[in-house]
Amino acid sequence: MIIFLTATFPVKAQNILPTNKTNDVQAVAVIDKLWEAMRTKNADAIRALFTPEGQLVTVSKPRTGEEPSKTRVFTGADFAKMIAAGTGEFIERMPQPEAKIFGDAAIVFGRYTFHVGDKFSHCGTNTFNLVRTADGWKIANGVSTMEFQCQSDLKAVSVPTVEARAEDVATIDGVVKAFYEVISGGVGQARQWGRDKTLYAPDIRFTAMSAGQDGKPRANIMNHSKYVNSTNEFLISEGFVEREIGRVTRQFGNIAHVFSAYEFTTAGKKLKGRGINSIELYWDGTRWWISAVSWDEERPDSPIRKEFLIKEK
């Protein structure tokens, strides 16, 4: 699949049944509305996002890290009042929100950063429990840690929560086509990380195989957010295009495996290479999901065999 600055190549793996993506988008949208209501200090809008008994808990870690954390509990109404009375513009961002749906209950969680105007304040982890009501999803309770060691959070790439495109997930061809399109682009061109995320089952893992200096194989394993954060800057600054050059597909019932041979180049062909993506998929009755992907690059002692360079029709 894609490369790192060190020219090692990542991988993806794991198989967990997905939730309804429409519900995911709707649940995350509630939290996006909370950020906007906080920014505009709209107390009525904040209160409307909570259930009548809704609460928010903050867990503040001391800057020194030497004292116990302090916990404060707010009702939704108290929290709305506090934000409305605050000074400055409150800007909270959760770049890579995750959602889990359990019938009429949901969890939306992720790392966040908090600014007052242009000034950075703190970071942490948000966990919101939502319930589905006659008026839509509402926040039943939430817990937010307040932390101050935030270098990696400030560099996090924003990944929007979007609906999957029907043409991307209706067929294996569509999934593989999108798989290459989302990470390819010229210098300065933003990658389609929201669309990319719709291709995978929740809790996907990426694992890249490479050879260490001692010649032994190395596996670099990460989740989607770590994969995005570790590769985005390089892809955009260098210009990276990956295309399929061969495919071997095997399908049985509702499961499939694709060996997809690829080649990649960066702008001006400063870097180029080939390899194989090993993609596991399943059909849930409505669409295809990628449940696992692994890849390895071609090396002099491990060339791509001709059988993997067949272009299936």
- Mean pLDDT for each 10-residue chunk of the chain (313 residues)? 44 38 86 97 98 96 78 96 96 94 96 96 97 96 94 93 96 98 97 96 89 85 91 95 97 97 93 95 96 93 93 75
Using CA atoms, how far residue 223 sits from 12, 48, 70, 201, in Å, is: 8, 34, 31, 11
Residue 213: per-residue pLDDT: 76
The pLDDT value given to residue 2: 54
- The full set of domains in the chain, from first to last, is 12-19+163-308 (3.10.450.50), 21-154 (3.10.450.50)
